[in-house]
Amino acid sequence: MTTVEEIESALKELPESRLAEFRAWYAEFAAECWDREIEKDVHSGKLDALADEAIADFDSNRCREL
C-alpha cells in the first residue's frame, strides 16, 4: 500500500468532526502552497507579460469596475 492509499484509507475512517477539522487544515495548507507557487512565479518573471498586458489595458481605458 502506498502512502497516498494509506492516507485515503485513514480519511475514510475519520469521524465527521475530525474530517471537518482535516478539511480546514488542508484548505489552509493548500492555500499556503499556492501562495508559495505564485511568489516563485512572480520572482522568476513568469507573470511579467500578464502584468504588462493588464497595465497597458488600464492605461488605454480598456478596463471597467467590477
Question: Could you report the per-residue pLDDT of 5-17, keeping only the tens digit for each?
Answer: 999 999 999 999 9
Mean pLDDT of the residues in the chain = 95
Q: Give CA–CA dist 23/6, Å, rounded.
A: 17
In a domain, 6, yes or no: no
In a domain, 1, yes or no: no
- HSE-CB for 12 with a 13 A CA cutoff: 6
The whole-number pLDDT of residue 25 equals 97
Give the amino acid at 63. Answer: C
The whole-number pLDDT of residue 64 equals 85
Q: Give CA–CA dist 3/61, Å, rounded.
A: 52
Residue 54 domain boundaries: 15-59
The whole-number pLDDT of residue 48 equals 97
42 φ/ψ angles, rounded to the nearest 5 degrees? -65, -50
Whether pTM > 0.75 for this model: the answer is no
Based on the structure, what is the number of domains in the chain? 1
Q: Give CA–CA dist 56/58, Å, rounded.
A: 5
